[in-house]
Amino acid sequence: MARYDFKAQRLFLKADLAEGTMADVSVGQANYVKNVLRLQEGDTIIVFNGRDGEWQASIADAGKRGATLRIGAKVRDQEDGPDIDYLFAPLKRARLDYMVQKATEMG
């Protein structure tokens, strides 16, 4: 089995995630889940919050003003981002501004 499922739909939640808990989604996220992804009650989606890893969740209730997800099993643990050092040599002012712009775009 592949390490990552790149075809699975993912959704970011601010709530703490744990197996068996319920999580409410915002109105915008509910609209995205119901109208863009066209998921209905009982369908599954991968949720994450940037702290607890990725979890499989099923849509428990999908109303007009929101949705509730039932958090299931953990799919994978949260990984730390890469440790990147960006080094450069001093340049002329015009080139330095361009380098700073590109470094900012990289994050």
- Give the pLDDT confidence of 46-82 residue by residue, as tens digits: 999 888 889 999 988 877 778 889 998 888 888 877 7
Q: Are strands 54-62 and 67-76 parallel, antiparallel or unpaired?
A: antiparallel
The proportion of the chain whose per-residue pLDDT surpasses 70, expressed as a percent, equals 93
56 within 8 A of 46, measured Cβ to Cβ:
yes
Contacts of 91 (CB under 8 A, 6+ apart): 99
> Looking at residue 14, what DSSP letter applies?
S
Q: Which residues sit opposite 82 in a β-bridge?
A: none
pLDDT of residue 1 exceeding 70: no
Q: Is the pTM of this model over 0.75?
A: no
Residue, of 6 and 14, whose pLDDT is higher: 14
Model pLDDT, residue 47:
92
> What's the whole-number average pLDDT of the chain?
84
